[in-house]
Amino acid sequence: MELVKELPAIFEEFSEQRKNSFIPMYELKQKGVPVVGGFCTYLPKEIPMAMGAVMVGLCSKTGETIPDAEQDLPRNLCPLIKSSYGFAKTDKCPFFYFSDLIVGETTCDGKKKMYEMLAEFKNVHVLELPNKKSEMGTQLFKEEIKRFKCVLEEQFDTTITEDDIRKSIHIVNEQRKALKEFYGLQKMDPPPMGGMEMHKVLDGVQFRFDMPKATADVRALTQKIKDEYDPKKYEGRKRILLTGSPIGCSTAKVVGAIEENGGVVVCYENCGGARSVDELVDETNPDVYEALAKRYINIPCSCMSPNPGRLDLFDRLLEEYKIDGVIEVVLQACHTFNVESYKIKKHVTEKHNIPYMYMETDYSSTDAGQVNTRVAAFIEML
């Protein structure tokens, strides 16, 4: 990334990173570099990285392949699950095609059953994720991480040492720190960038396969934004926190409505935002598997029950980002986030006295007008 470019061009480079990374991915495959594809922030990417593999997020963020998926899957299933399966089934996503191993996780029942079907034509390994954050749950996930290491060693005929894992833990921690500093710029009042600009970076950085270089680019971008800060650009706009499901291509639909109607997204609490990079792996823990298990189990996703960590995260984010309103976007049939939205609404409105709006949507554009109308009314109320 050339930082002599204007900020809009740099943001657009991150936005285009998914498409632009297909050729680098092919070149890596030609060199014999292993590729491990994953779906979820609960996947401890440090383990594949420790054996020199490239980690890639698998395409599951558009509705393009949902009709193909619905030939096998129920129509009333979560669009993220259908999209994931559809891209794998049709080979329309090069990342699915190039992945030597696809790693799933037991975050929800729909995904678990989909992985069974996916395993009929792809090489799939499923991580057993505890649904409760506890000492027993941490121990279970520690053993799962060890088992995952053994699966990689066997399939790729390699040895993963604890020193290799420590090195990868440090590399990933450095990127988490850089991303946290980047989106932390939005604590400024007025914020220095819009929600879509922030999202382009948070989404695009995962498709830069040289992680230290990607981290350096994020840090350089953060400094450039500081140097070119224009307090008038988003002055007077209502500060919105966006939470809920990983919403994929619906991000543009929702964030666009917010920022066309006098708001600005200053914080993403959902996957890809604060929820996934807020905490580091403890590099001082001599037991690398325990350190990884504790960090990943602490991700406050709604698949955990109970899930007090998400409320604790809200307490910090609402204050630090001076939030005027919270919008929770839940994908259709995403049951855990749907049910947990009751607690989030109660916590936000009763404890913090901040307005909250719930919105259910999918990957289509058919409800774009309704989304815009509801968001406009919500921001007007603020």
Q: What is the pLDDT confidence band of residue 86, given thresholds at 50, 70 and 90?
A: very high
The predicted pLDDT at position 60 comes to 76
Report the alpha-carbon distance of residue 127 to residue 293 in Å, rounded: 12
Report the alpha-carbon distance of residue 224 to residue 11 in Å, rounded: 12
The pTM for the full model equals 0.95
Cα–Cα–Cα angle for 302, 191, 362, rounded to 5 degrees: 35
Cα 234 vs. chain centroid, distance in angstroms? 25
pLDDT tens per residue, range 49-62: 999 999 999 977 78
The predicted pLDDT at position 157 comes to 98
Cα 34 vs. chain centroid, distance in angstroms? 22
The predicted pLDDT at position 262 comes to 97
Classify the C-alpha dihedral 286-155-271-3 as positive or negative.
Answer: positive
The predicted pLDDT at position 14 comes to 87
Sheet holding 263-268, edge to edge: 263-268, 238-244, 325-331, 356-361
Domains of the chain, with CATH numbers? 32-163 (3.40.50.11890)
Q: What is the pLDDT confidence band of residue 4, given thresholds at 50, 70 and 90?
A: low
320 CB-contact burial (10 Å; exposed 0-12 / middle 13-18 / buried 19+): middle
For residue 208, pLDDT over 60 is answered with yes
Q: How far apart are the first and last CA of the chain?
A: 38
The phi, psi pair for 6, rounded to 5°, reads -70, 155
Place of tokens 């996916």: 118
